[in-house]
Amino acid sequence: MPKAAATKRLTEALEKVGITSIGPDGEILVKSTQQQQLATELEKAGFGLILVSGVESKSRNGTMYKVVVAPRSIKDIINLVVPEKTNVLKQKIKLDPIIRSVQMNMVAFD
Amino acid sequence: MLSLYGYEYAIKNVYLAARSALGERQVNNLDQLRCFYLDALTKLAPKLPINRSQSRIIVDLAVEERLTAFFSTSVLDDLRQDQAIGPAYPPETKQAKLDRVSEAWDALTGRSIEFARTLNLIVHSVFVRSAVGAGKRTPRAGTTSLAPGVIWLAVHDNESVEDLIEILIHELTHLLMFTDELIHPQFDYTDIAKRDTFTLSALLGAVRPLDKVVHSMVVGTEIIMGRSALRPVSHCGTGAHPDSRVIAAGVSSAYLQLVEHPLAVDSLTQHTQEIIARCHGVCGAYNLEPATL
């Protein structure tokens, strides 16, 4: 995505939830009431949030997050899956008892 | 497997696993993919309680009891894992333990979009319950391929959020390996229960069934790579796992023992041989570069 278009999409997504200020490294202050809608809007625009670490990230006014470019969208990823393989798999999951073999793994036992 | 193979590989595997429930419908976003994946798990494990709510934490005691029952005996369980889960926590302490798991979950998902999306997709239920035969400081948690998407945790008072984050990464890795196994067979399933294919595991350093050995190598590698990506002070040990250099040495030893064991190698598919070679490649680099620790 070109930088100007990406910036525009980000700005629009933030404005939809009422956030108008963003720091030089993408920092934004998010109120708990904004969090859910913001995550949805950002995902649509191709961005995501990570928590700014440290005790100073939380204040009475909200939590400090950093906006980052999100991984490729789910739709784009699954478009890369080879169709033939998926047909084989449908049968395999239904019919093959062997791949259901029981394995149990536990912390401290490896 | 998330760090070793990447986020897109994990998503593709979940999508392929979800295909049995998809029909002609299209997947456009993560919520839809989760929904279809959980539908596929219902077909795969019809008696498993599938939690479709946004919170993955299981509070209901009846559901907790049903999930516990899935951690049952198997020919591949060599350390009496089926007896590892103990009684329910008393109600007055259970909520505090669930709150600490939630805190660790939020901290982990707040540090990485890839971890957040993968964890939210793969894991549908996390329950807490006491552990049998372990000290109050010994970390205990588990997954089973009979209950895909389910994590059991025994939460001890001494465990920090960082410890619990590593335990979540550990268990997520097992679940991702199970999902991978639905798409790519990993073993010669007629041989892995035979003792003469057993070999050295990476974390415990004991001779164990091959599935445990392979999983231990991948878990060890994921803990090291997860520390690099997610922790400010990255490679010191935690209450859950030792120092990264110790883990890397364990993974390398396990790898070298396995590749010298013809029966064991023959019991791995080409795909699994590639997985463990990747683990060895990552951990070999950590062994050679102590300055990075």
Asked if pLDDT for residue A2 goes beyond 70, the answer is no
pLDDT band at B175 (very low <50, low <70, confident <90, very high): very high
Interface of B with A in 223-242 (CB under 8 A): 232, 240
**pLDDT single digits (tens) B146-160:** 899 999 999 998 889
Q: For B80-113, how does the pLDDT look when each residue is reduced to its tens digit (9 = 90+)?
A: 777 889 999 999 899 999 999 999 999 999 888 8
Q: Is the pLDDT of residue A85 over 70?
A: no
Q: Any chain A CB within 8 A of the CB of B185?
A: yes
Is B170's pLDDT higher than 60? yes
Which residues of A are less than 8 Å from B116 in CB distance? 48
What digits encode the pLDDT tens for the residues B66-80? 999 988 777 777 777
For residue B289, the distance in angstroms to the closest alpha carbon of chain A comes to 24
Of A22-26, A67-71, A96-100, B76-80, give the lowest mean pLDDT range. Answer: A96-100
Q: Where are the alpha helices (DSSP H) in chain B?
A: 2-5, 7-22, 30-44, 61-69, 91-111, 113-122, 161-183, 210-230, 244-259, 262-266, 270-288
Give mean pLDDT, residues A48-77.
Answer: 78
CB contact under 8 A, A75 and B43: no
| Residues of A with Cβ-Cβ distance to B43 under 8 angstroms | 93-94
In chain B, residues 66-85 whose CB comes closer than 8 Å to chain A? 71-72, 74-77, 79, 81-82, 84
What's the average model confidence in pLDDT over A88-93?
56
Put simply, whether B215 touches A (Cβ < 8 Å) is yes
CA proximity to B241, closest of B252, B254, B251, B256: B251
pTM for the full predicted model:
0.88
| Confidence band, pLDDT 50/70/90 cuts, at residue B287 | low
DSSP string, B10-28: HHHHHHHHHHHHHTT----
In chain A, pLDDT over 70 holds for what percent of residues? 65
Q: What is the DSSP string of B38-49?
A: HHHHHHHSTTS-
Inter-chain touch A71–B33, beta carbons under 8 Å: no
Burial B140-179 (b: 16+ CB within 10 A, else e): bbbbbbbbbbbbbbbbbeebeebbbbbbbbbbbbbbbbbb
